Amino acid sequence: MRPTRTQTTIAIAWVLFWLLMVTTAVQDYLRDNDHGVWKPILWETSSAFTGTLLIVTQRYFTRRYDQLISSPRDWFARQLVWLPVYWVVFVPIAFGIRHAVYRLAGDTYSHQAWPQVFLYEDVKMTVYFFIFTTIAFGVLSFHAMLDEKLRVERINASLREAQLLRLSQQLQPHFLFNALNTISSLMHSDVARADAMLIQLADVLRATLDVGEQHQVPLELELRLLRGYASLMSERFADRVHIAWHVDESLLACRVPVMSMQPLLENIFKHTVERRRQSTVIAISIAREDDVIVLRLEDDGGMLSAPGAATAKASGIGVRNLRERLAALYGTGASFNLTQLAPAGVRAEMRLPCVS
């Protein structure tokens, strides 16, 4: 066992147990005697001292076998070696103390013949030994279970961290590829606009460097990334898209998954804006509902039921990546849904716990 609250509790229980034994012995003695109350106190305290000494010694020499706790047979076999020590040592120490104190008090300690004393006390010591050893096994097993649980939690945390890092590393090259592909489409037709988009891309990449390997960032920084991407794409579709922002400024300190809104906006451009000739209105809103922060992106022309659209929107890299990250970060504490609007349009909605 170890210097923990559990060990302290056991020590207190041990002291209370022997106080109870002393009290009971004194009460039994006073029924037949009206003096010499120190005698039952001596009997029990000598037993307590000797029993504690044997327990401490046993633990000192068998502590190195604690790693065998997962194999009870082997662990108990190492403990059983100490039972003869209890048989041999208890009577000489406990009764030696009693004889010495009696002699100092000018009295004589009387008891049965030594063979009978050894037989009686050894039976008691056998019961005592097995009770203590069983309790020790239970406590050690409990701590082993806690250690294993902590180890599993640490492994899961490490795996979750690695998963989030992998997802983040997967998302950023994907975003960069799409942005460069957009710029490439303008390089030979409109150099000025391509140059403006490169500047916008540099601003977005600078913001991603500020993020580093963080998995959650304040909403304020996430919006900086999102606005940069929106500006980048608006340059390409200047006459075909209008973005309306509705942001509750009081939520800017809430932490959200990094680059969680960008793939949703990217989906709107890829599956709606690029496929329509008419202008598309995109609404981006962030609001609080009770203790939940609700992030919505919706357009007025997308169709989940369009051929290929449902599959692309529901299982594309960005959306699939986002679902996995939400599950890793929040478990069931977050949700993500895609909803078909009438007569046209798609709403992407994330619900997250608002934690500053």
* Model confidence pLDDT, tens digit, residues 224-258: 888 888 887 787 777 889 999 999 999 999 999 88
DSSP 317: H
Are 218 and 292 in a shared domain?
Answer: yes
315 and 232 share one domain: yes
Instruction: Please answer whether residues 346 and 298 qualify as being in contact, where contact means their C-beta atoms are separated by less than 8 angstroms.
Output: yes
In the predicted structure, residue 35 carries a pLDDT above the cut 70 = yes
Is residue 120's pLDDT more than 90? yes
The stretch 127-141 carries a mean pLDDT of 90
Helices 83-104, 38-62: axis angle to 10 degrees equals 150
Task: Assess if residue 207 is contained within a domain.
Answer: yes
pLDDT of residue 57: 94
The pLDDT confidence band at residue 99, using thresholds 50, 70 and 90, is very high
- The answer to the question of residue 181 being in a domain is no
The answer to whether residue 337 is domain-embedded is yes
What's the mean pLDDT in 83-109?
94
Question: Per the domain annotation, does 172 fall within a domain?
Answer: no
Whether the per-residue pLDDT at 4 is higher than 90: the answer is no
Return contacts of 38-42, CB within 8 angstroms, 24+ apart: 38/105, 42/97, 42/98, 42/101, 42/102
Domain assignment of residue 123, given as a range: 5-153
DSSP states along 13-72: HHHHHHHHHHHHHHHHHHHH-SS-THHHHHHHHHHHHHHHHHHHHHHHHHGGGGGGGGSH
Q: How confident is the model at residue 324 (pLDDT cuts 50, 70, 90)?
A: confident
Q: Could you give the CA distance from residue 143 to residue 166 in angstroms, rounded to a whole number? A: 34
pTM of the complete model: 0.51
Instruction: Count CB atoms within 10 A of the CB of residue 252.
Output: 15
Kindly state whether residues 140 and 49 are assigned to the same domain.
Answer: yes
Same-domain pairing of 199 and 340: yes
Contact 262, 322 (CB under 8 A): no
Asked if residue 179 belongs to a domain, the reply is: no
In a domain, 11, yes or no: yes
pLDDT at 207 over 50: yes
138 pLDDT exceeds 80? yes
Q: Please indicate, yes or no, if residue 162 is contained in any of the structural domains.
A: no
pLDDT for the residue numbered 245? 96
Query: Please, what's the b/e burial string for 46-56 (b: 16 or more CB within 10 A of its CB; e: otherwise)?
Result: bbbebbeebbe
Q: Is residue 212 in some structural domain? A: yes
Total number of domains constituting the chain: 2
pLDDT band at 154, cuts 50/70/90? confident
Cα 140 from Cα 72, distance rounded (Å): 11
